[in-house]
């Protein structure tokens, strides 16, 4: 980006639908880990469209919690634990709907790319796994014993270099 180009980066859901920028004044709009926090993304998409100049680029990056993958001896239990993680987000699968929202708002050349991180070090995700298991228990999706057994299995996988998680991030871009 040269010195004349301007951009806005949005990460705060409270400020995403009311930007201080003038109409058509921004060359690029970047939203990072935002859309899964929004109950209604339409005002945020409209605001991005408003502030972008014609030909300006919209880019959003974020998780789609429905795409998380983990290896386990009990895949059904793992899927339920991951539902617990989803339950902690306002809109856990929002990124997959963003393409339609951008097209509806008048954006063009909308592209969706998946950028996946492969994690084999249990320690990297240990706290998140606890959070997910606790959320599944709190939502009455599984018992505490199920959660503890699952967490123990994941820790054991980590100790034996058998831990595997795949964390997809969707990257959605478009032109105004």
Q: Where are the domains of the chain?
A: 7-175
Q: What is the DSSP letter of 17?
A: T
Report the first-to-last Cα separation within the chain, whole angstroms.
17
pLDDT of residue 5: 83
Q: What is the pTM of this model?
A: 0.85
Q: Residue 113 above 80 pLDDT? A: yes
CATH architecture, domain 7-175: 3-Layer(aba) Sandwich (3.40)
Where on the phi/psi map is residue 96: left (φ > 0), alpha (ψ -120 to 50), or beta? Answer: alpha
Span 30-41, average pLDDT:
94
Lowest-pLDDT choice from 46-55, 59-68, 101-110:
59-68
CA torsion angle 57 61 65 66 (round to 10): 40
Span 34-58, average pLDDT:
96
pLDDT digits (tens, 9 = 90+) for 123-143: 999 999 999 999 999 999 999
Burial annotation 19-45 (CB, 10 A radius, 16+ → b, else e):
beeeeeebbbbbbeebbbbbeebeebb
pLDDT digits (tens, 9 = 90+) for 51-70: 999 999 999 999 988 889 99
Burial class (CB in 10 A: 0-12, 13-18, 19+), 124: middle
């Amino acid at each position: 980006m040269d010195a004349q180009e301007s951009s806005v980066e949005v990460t705060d859901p409270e400020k995403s639908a009311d930007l201080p920028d003038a109409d058509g004044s921004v060359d690029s709009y970047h939203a990072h880990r935002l859309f899964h926090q929004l109950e209604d993304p339409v005002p945020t998409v409209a605001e991005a469209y408003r502030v972008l100049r014609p030909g300006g680029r919209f880019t959003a990056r974020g998780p789609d919690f429905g795409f998380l993958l983990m290896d386990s001896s009990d895949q059904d239990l793992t899927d339920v634990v991951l539902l617990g993680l989803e339950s902690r987000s306002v809109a856990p699968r929002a990124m997959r709907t963003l393409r339609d929202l951008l097209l509806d708002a008048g954006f063009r050349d909308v592209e969706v790319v998946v950028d996946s991180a492969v994690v084999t070090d249990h320690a990297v995700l240990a706290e998140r796994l606890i959070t997910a298991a606790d959320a599944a228990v709190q939502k009455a999706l599984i018992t505490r014993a199920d959660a503890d057994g699952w967490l123990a299995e994941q820790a054991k996988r980590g100790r034996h270099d058998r831990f595997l998680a795949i964390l997809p991030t969707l990257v959605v871009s478009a032109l105004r």
